[in-house]
Structure 1
Amino acid sequence: MTFTKPSRRLVSLAAATAATAVLMSACGSPNQTTVKADTSALEKVYEQIEGLSLEERDAKLAELAEEEGGEVMLYTTAEAKDSDPLTDAFEAKYGIKVTYYRAAGEMVAQKVLQEVSANHEGADLYMADAAQGTVLAAKKALAPLKTPLTERLIPGSFNEYNAAIYLLAPVISWNTDLVKDPPKDLEDALTRFKGKFMIEQEDSAWFKGLVQDYFVKQKKMTEEEAVAYVEDALPGAFVVKGHTLETTLLSSGQAEVCLACYYHSITSAKEDGAPVEAMPIADPVPYMFTSAGLPVTTTRPASALLLLDFLLTDGQQLIAGQNRNPSNRDYQGKFKVEEYDSFPYSVNDSEEDLAKWQGIYEDVLAKAGGSVIDKE
């Protein structure tokens, strides 16, 4: 297992945002295929499980996974405390050993792209936010994904190459020791806590949804007005790399307010005794997906599909226990998406649109000044 280790270091905003540009431009243009990967092994697996019931499919994939060597490699953004229960349960059920590499979403995607470019085997299955999945699919790095379980997923949470494993709901959060009169809504957070809040450095998909679905559709602003409104609140704000780090900084009192900490992370920190609180889930509910897919270079496609199906079934209950929201409608998390006026950040956004909003977001973050906090 590989993890990123914390240190006390700051990086310049220019250097941090440059990393995103590297990912968006990696492996050439969106329509360029750098490697003609051999997916015949995956196609053969699909032929052997076509038309089977879920139970028959599960048994056949388990059999084929054993023939592949009884191991599978996962690249994921989830922390060890969240990944270990899932991989341990999978290993206990099937006897298939899971090795995983954990990093931030952009690092996961970049590692997959590098392996595909070099035609080098590595990940059998990846998990990262839907925006990274869009980039990987556009770069021809993912194989077609076929599982009948997509029929049970929340609408809009899957496409030909990616399937959402769980939802992430960004919520306004604060340190209760430092903030006695918490923000009442987003506008209150941006104005009354100007220069005192955290904003995540890679949240361009969240920002796009915030502008288009909240400020434009609900507050009747133009896109230009919405972007300018957020920019005006940025001077002095803390730009942080990583949602996990945001929760850590908020819990330790190093920041007062977080504009978009993840609901599951704040809930878990609060349960562990941290002095944090989040605004209740209420209309409108923005949410993002953590998606999974098969890199074209996988050498253990049956094992990858078996793990994916597990994450979309048995793993969903474990995910709910981690305060996350399952993507499978047969399992219930902390809130029911269909009960709210929610707006998802789609898995079907184009790479060009993502690149456009990444550029806009970088320009907005530049208004904060200072450096990006990337370690505790």
Structure 2
Amino acid sequence: MAFATGAGAQAPADVSVAMKLTGEARTRALVEGAKKETGEVMVYHSTQTEDLQPVFDAFTKKYGIKVRDWRSSSENVVQRIISEGRAGKREVDFVENNSPEMEALRREKLLLRMESPFFADLRPGTLGAHQEYATSTIDVFVQAYNTEKVKRDELPRTFEDLAHPRWKDRLGIEAEDQAWFGTLMRHAGEAKTTKLWSDIVATNGMSVRKGHTLLANLVASGEVPIGLTTYNYKPPQLKAKGAKIDWIVLQPAIGQLHAVAVIAKTTRPFSSALLFDFFLGEGQPLLAQRNFVPSSSKVPSPFGDMPITYIDPTEALDKQEPWLKQYEAIFIKRNR
């Protein structure tokens, strides 16, 4: 899919002025503007609804603004917004999605350039200069394992340890984590990374599954003893429900930036701007309670000061096809 490039859409004059205010004056102006808008804020998102619902509920309780949502895969969210935008439809107001997909929307000029006092609190490297989408959470790839299938003392300490024959027919990975793999290549070198993982798959095989939630659930059930690319928030959620699952983090730790944005042609710009602020401010502790890594430096990260290498959304979008070909060649075709 080809995407146009260019600057983001400018906010309507009145909401643009309101966003540039500070303190209580800013909030008051946005609230007053939201009172003149009708209907619910429509949110398209890729994160599981049960994880975002606490944020939606708290937002509605504070402002009296109702939220309606539609959840699908990150790719489907992008395709629907682009299709509606090209058709002139104004269904969606607000989007939450992976940052490479947000970059695709930005290039289509579908996102609004935002101003927010909460930008100052974001962790370094999580906000682009364009200010058209901002990181709300960081999905860190962890290695989840079934505690009945994998002994603690046999856990790998490095990715290189996965080439040991003890891991034969015990490894699983998500089907489309090419951005994770591409970032590994950037970190350790392409030749070294492709050789290592080719050797791992040749020696031990690889169970390839579509969906990070599915992969985590298969680890919990024991069908996949160790899942190499599960998102950090899912294993603790499953463990809290009694599942036989735990997790480790092999270095380099890779993080996918998950972001929020306001649609350029929203008919509810004031309400959407309030929700944008809420995600980056009061919503951060609520997301942390769901085991997400908050983007705000004011809310502790479960990883503390551990170094995390972020997937670059621009690079991930630009190199999507070559990275996917490399990924499939190693993990899918070689695995047949």
TM-score by length of 2: 0.90
The answer as to 2:272 corresponding to 1:301 is no
Q: 1:185 aligns with which of 155, 158, 161?
A: 158
Stretches of structure 1 lacking an aligned partner (at least 5 in a row): 1-24, 217-222, 371-376
Cα deviation, 1:261-293, whole Å, max 9, x if unaligned, reads 1121111211221101111x5754321211111
Cα distance in 2 for partners of 1:142, 1:361 equals 30
Q: Which moved more, 1:236-245 or 1:141-150?
A: 141-150
Q: 2:332 aligns with which of 343, 359, 366?
A: 366
Aligned to 2:260: 292
Q: 1:47 aligns with which of 11, 14, 17?
A: 17
The answer as to 2:198 corresponding to 1:198 is no
Cα distance in 1 for partners of 2:274, 2:76 equals 24
1:274/1:60 CA distance change after superposition, 3 Å: same
Q: Which moved more, 1:204-213 or 1:305-314?
A: 204-213
The answer as to 2:224 corresponding to 1:255 is yes
1:1-376 to structure 2, matched below 5 A, reads 25=1, 29-31=2-4, 42-50=12-20, 52-159=21-128, 160=130, 161-180=132-151, 181-191=154-164, 192-213=166-187, 215-216=188-189, 223-234=190-201, 236-279=205-248, 281=249, 284-336=252-304, 339-349=305-315, 351-369=317-335
Cα distance in 2 for partners of 1:167, 1:321 equals 14
- The residue identity in structure 2 corresponding to 1:332 is P
- 3-state SS of paired residue (2:137): strand
1:43/1:200 CA distance change after superposition, 3 Å: farther
Cα distance in 1 for partners of 2:229, 2:207 equals 12
1:361/1:66 CA distance change after superposition, 3 Å: farther
1:197/1:149 CA distance change after superposition, 3 Å: same
RMSD of aligned residue pairs (Cα, Å): 2.3
Stretches of structure 2 lacking an aligned partner (at least 5 in a row): none
- 3-state SS of paired residue (2:260): strand
Cα distance in 2 for partners of 1:148, 1:273 equals 40
How many residues were matched structurally? 329
Q: Which moved more, 1:94-103 or 1:228-237?
A: 228-237
Q: Which moved more, 1:121-130 or 1:358-367?
A: 358-367
- 3-state SS of paired residue (2:257): strand
- 3-state SS of paired residue (2:42): strand
Structure 1 residue runs of 4 or more that deviate by more than 4 Å after TM superposition: none
Residues 167 and 324, structure 1, Cα contact 8 Å, conserved in 2: yes
- The residue identity in structure 2 corresponding to 1:234 is V
Residues 209 and 345, structure 1, Cα contact 8 Å, conserved in 2: yes
- 3-state SS of paired residue (1:277): strand
TM-score by length of 1: 0.81
Shift of 1:116: 1.3
